[in-house]
Amino acid sequence: MKFVDEAEISVEAGKGGNGCLSFRREKYIEFGGPDGGDGGAGGSVFMRADPALNTLVDFRFQPRYRAESGRPGAGRNRTGASGEDLTIDVPPGTSVIDAETGELISDLREPGYPVMVAKGGSPGLGNTRFKSSTNRAPRKTTNGEAGEARGLQLQLSLVADAGLLGLPNAGKSTLIRAVSAARPKVADYPFTTLIPNLGVVRLGPERSFVMADMPGLIEGAADGAGLGFRFLKHLSRTRLLLHLVDVMPADGSDPAANALSIVAELEKFSKTLAARERWLVLSKVDLLSDDALAELETRLRRELDWQGGMHHISAITGAGCRQLCEALMQAIESHRERLREDADYAREQRGMERELALEFGRGRTRNSNRA
């Protein structure tokens, strides 16, 4: 199945049913009063996260959705049936954005909680409603209102515990192959990874986390260059970022300058994302001697003003991969426990994800205008 993370659709809620103009007509009742019933309400359109879905590909083939309209009222004060609501299922992690205004309508993270995206039209009134002491035989009715119609942008961000960040050919795909069952393509040319890949890292019974491999970033990615901007949004759903730095780039570039360029792109794209917890991982360390590696680490700490720890790995030989995954597992387990027990922390995390979704929506609009 093809991975699709963006789609544009149109939704239209149902029209309300018209009110009925009717008078009571029965034997021996010469002047029956008005008995026209109201119309039924139009159906609304809802969206709901479904964990069984993981791509927006279906919306490329079915871009229009319409809820059922309400039925008109009838005589004998019979109200028309309301239109059926329409519920559209999307993958968890889908942001629903108004295509015209850029407003974030909803950020669908948790399954089972439908969100209204288009409200059904109000029903029309039958002539019974207009009966009064001075107007015993009203001939006035109202028509049902049209349902709300709007264009929507659907933006899917993958949900993962750890996201891999780095330049093309930094070793991200090789790492996820080494620690999980995921098998992304690996080759010695840039942009081998064209779509995000997810891998489940298992460290024991009931101890696992999800790692996301993203296409590599290049300078100018926050402005739409390369493949980076399109997938930067996926990093908004990750618990922490693993910034992989190739210690010996094949093009002869400076590892420290490469690391700085990634940090600059993150900050340019989103201040909120740049502030997210990030680990520095030196990749392909088997290519350097211990002295050269120590010298590079000192430079990175100085030029990046890096105060945290650094992990050394070689995905080809497996060196350091187990230790990295164990440290990740401990950090993720601590995060999950805090989400369960600390309501303020959980609220803060949800607020951060919402802010990231808004920043991405604004960034996408800005880059579309530039194009």
Task: Provide the pLDDT confidence category of residue 291 given band limits of 50, 70 and 90.
Answer: very high
Q: Single out the residue of 11, 107, 85, 95 nearest to residue 56, CA to CA.
A: 95
Cβ neighbors of 322 (< 8 A, separation 6 or more) are none
Residue 228, pLDDT > 80, answer no
Mean pLDDT score, 76-88: 96
Lowest-pLDDT choice from 44-53, 76-85, 214-223, 264-273: 214-223
**Contact between 234 and 212 (Cβ < 8 Å):** yes
Cβ neighbors of 21 (< 8 A, separation 6 or more) are 36, 126, 127, 139, 141
What is the rounded distance in angstroms from the CA atom of residue 225 to the CA atom of residue 80? Answer: 55
b/e map 289-301, b = 16+ CB within 10 Å: eeeebeebbeebe
Mean pLDDT score, 206-227: 64
pLDDT value of residue 188 = 46
Q: Which residue has the higher pLDDT, 9 or 253?
A: 9
Q: For the chain, what percentages of helix, strand and coil (3-state, to nearest 5) are there?
A: 30, 25, 45
Structural domains of the chain sorted by starting position, each given as residue range(s) with its CATH number in brackets? 1-156 (2.70.210.12), 160-370 (3.40.50.300)
Lowest-pLDDT choice from 51-55, 123-127, 239-243, 298-302: 51-55
What is the rounded distance in angstroms from the CA atom of residue 263 to the CA atom of residue 266? Answer: 5
pLDDT value of residue 215 = 67
DSSP for 66-104 reads EPPPPPPPBTTTBPPPPPPPEEEEE-TTEEEEETTT--E
Cβ neighbors of 305 (< 8 A, separation 6 or more) are none
Mean pLDDT of the chain: 84
Residue 130, pLDDT > 60, answer yes
